[in-house]
Structure 1
């Protein structure tokens, strides 16, 4: 085994320029796939960030609601009916919607208002870095993310603006709560949210249901469904999957990211295959000598495969380092790249398969060598 590895490494490192070209092809393809899949995972997380941070077991939604940001509304008359179900701990309405934020300069920018009952602790701002969230109970109080300072024309707690003609004051700041639609989230109390979005008192965007810890969730789910009429009832997991599916596949964003990843695999495989084939072709006389000395085809195939594996390991290590550097750079961007352990494992397996598949062309070339050619030189 050590002899095979030694021979493979010497063949691989003999022509350093060609070896560098091979690594470039591998690194390029792996980094491209990693970034595309990282964007896919990052986008998938961002589209469900509000659902993930809502303390909910069940969601009562308007019929056909596709995601958290869906503007559809339902009648809150079912709230008391749902609350009467045995096993239900609380039922809290959420009011969300787009509105206009007027800066001090008079410029207007769209914002996405998120309103919940703060006394119930259902959906509150997280990653608070300045100010007091409890102050949201005051009339006109809002919480925004500091990454949107430029968009909102503010720079600190205490500054004021207008939402739909009503004066608002920033009472707290968060860090990292970004919207994938680029429209800033503005957290407010439920009562204020109705005014800022023009929602009638008997209407809400959804009802958040929490189930008692000792209750049978399946039974509660069925009982709630029977109480809400034509509204839909989803678990948090179901609502998360629906929202992610809509934004990733219903809008075509997921297909575009997958296409980019596939392009990276194709380009990388072609580059690596061409480089490995050229390298093997330049060493045909050495492989012919091995065959003339009685080396089996299996031994020669192993040498070529080892060359491909060495290229895969070295190229992947470099690509992974670049990938994690990109993750750090984009951590606070509008669409952060996410790299998970399973993605790293999958990409390593993909890199190995890509390099081994690329070596097949070289193996086919070696198989056709006539050992007698070594004596004809």
Structure 2
């Protein structure tokens, strides 16, 4: 840090009044907490929305052209799965079924009058290799029994307060799904998002028995929510995607995992107010930090104007004072970032447990907020130093 070695006065100015320094650090820490909250919730929104995509075993995904987001219940004919299976370079194609509108789960421990809550039900053919989670694949044998399902342990709050820590106790818990009795035979972890408060996983056969109205006439499994395509091991992903896209009619989008993730994130970021709100929240946190840091540095300059006048009379140039104030800003940002980071970490942990969202402190997020904090404090210092640079040294005595 050659900048700080050349300007040791920056550290002395900050630390000579411990009470003022503590107040300054608390203010900057609060601004850091605000920014972390906005960054964390925005990232949790995106990560939670694409968690199901990440947990699927597949290289290419088939989605109805009308399905603008994963939560939209827009489906396509199962024939598209069969057509994709016959494409050159494809090792297999498999359907995934999902239901929310008709999927209402009741915890019957309080009797038949207990209230039901919407939960996403996910169905698949048990022989199909479509899920990555070991917690599900290891329990597939349990799902062969009629009227059984696995429940997501991160399903939100008291709505789905089942004893997921003990499978035997869970299986004895009376439950009802879509008006029919349901036995919960195990649990897994997926997490909630802004559209779903919880998740159930079951066999396609059980799925069809609970939601026969998905198709007015015929088999409810003849319409598919999501197609999972495996390419052959030595096949080129982009070429296979293009071949499948050329083969299928125009009612289905053919997307790689990365394309599907980006489409889902893009919808929530650009097509809903949520992305704008979180961006505004980050700006507000940044502005709050600028104001707090500006007040601290400005007050410090005002309190030491006579000392600065002496230095200017001794021949110190303006660039020395600019370097010193920038150094103060960097020191304030780094020291103030630490309590804000620790408070944010604790808040993330608490909210992740309360909401089921993917609120995780990551290094890229921390570096992003640290960069904003340093920029915030340097900008404040440059605004505050104008008072010193604009003053006539002779008038400062």
TM-score (norm 2): 0.87
User: What number of residue pairs does the alignment pair up?
Assistant: 374
Correspondence for 1:100: 104
Provide the C-alpha distance between the structure 2 equivalents of 1:275 and 1:259, rounded to a whole number of angstroms: 25
Is 1:118 matched with 2:114? no
Moved more, 34-43 or 163-172: 163-172
Question: Does the Cα contact within 8 Å between 2:190 and 2:199 map onto a contact in 1?
Answer: no
Partner of 1:348: 370
Which stretch shows the higher mean deviation, 325-334 or 284-293? 325-334
- For residues 46 and 66 of structure 1, the distance between their equivalents in structure 2, rounded to whole angstroms, comes to 17
Match of 1:68 in 2: 70
Q: Is the 8 A contact 1:164 1:196 kept in 2?
A: yes
- Show the counterpart of 2:166: none
Q: Report Cα offsets for 1:166-204 as digits up to 9, x if no partner.
A: 322111112453343343211111122123233323211
2:286 counterpart residue number: 265
Query: Using a 3 Å threshold, how does the CA distance of structure 1 residues 142 and 220 change in structure 2: closer, same or farther?
Result: same
- Which whole-Å CA distance do the structure 1 matches of 2:106 and 2:56 have between them? 28
- Using a 3 Å threshold, how does the CA distance of structure 1 residues 144 and 291 change in structure 2: closer, same or farther? same
Question: Is 2:190 aligned against 1:169?
Answer: no
For the 8 Å contact 1:113–1:185, the answer to whether it is kept is yes
Query: What is the RMSD of the two structures over their aligned residues, measured on CA atoms?
Result: 2.3
Equivalent residue of 2:127, what SS? helix
Residues 201 and 302 of structure 1, relative CA distance in 2, 3 Å threshold? closer
Cα 1:296/1:46, change in 2 over 3 Å:
same
Answering whether residue 170 of structure 2 is matched by residue 157 of structure 1, we say: yes
Q: Is there any run of 5+ residues in structure 2 with no aligned partner, and where? A: 164-168, 215-219
Residue 123 of structure 1: how far off its partner (Å):
2.5
Question: Which residue in 2 is equivalent to 1:225?
Answer: 245
Q: Distance in 2 between matches of 1:219 and 1:3?
A: 57
Q: Is structure 2 residue 276 aligned with structure 1 residue 255? A: yes
Who is 2:320 aligned against?
299
1:137 corresponds to? 144
Hey, which bits of structure 1, 4+ residues long, moved more than 6 A? Answer: none
- Tell me if the contact between 1:58 and 1:234 (Cα under 8 Å) persists in the aligned partners: yes
Cα distance, 1:3 vs structure 2: 6.6
CA contact (8 A) 2:152 2:188 kept: yes
Indicate if the aligned counterparts of 2:51 and 2:190 stay in contact, CA closer than 8 A: no
User: Corresponding residue for 2:224?
Assistant: 204
1:365 to 352, 368, 387: 387
CA shift, 1:261, in A, is 1.0
Cα distance, 1:305 vs structure 2 = 1.9
Normalising by structure 1, what TM-score? 0.92
Contact 2:45 2:194 in 1 (8 A): yes
Aligned to 2:257: 236
Report SS of the residue matched to 1:169: strand
Q: Which deviates more from structure 2 when the two are superposed, residues 38-47 or residues 107-116?
A: 107-116
SS of residue paired to 2:346? helix
SS of the aligned residue for 2:360 comes to coil
Residues 312-357 of structure 1 show CA distances to partners (whole Å, capped at 9, x for unaligned) of 1111122222222223323323134332212222222221211111
Q: Is the deviation greater in 257-266 or in 2-11?
A: 2-11
Which runs of no fewer than 5 residues in structure 1 stay unpaired? none
Question: Aligned partners of 1:3 and 1:226: how far apart in 2?
Answer: 64
- Alignment partner, residue 217 of structure 2: none
Distance in 1 (CA, whole Å) between partners of 2:57 and 2:34 is 37
Q: Structure 2 vs 1, CA of residues 160 and 248 (structure 1 numbering), >3 Å: closer, same or farther?
A: farther
1:330 aligns with 2:375: no
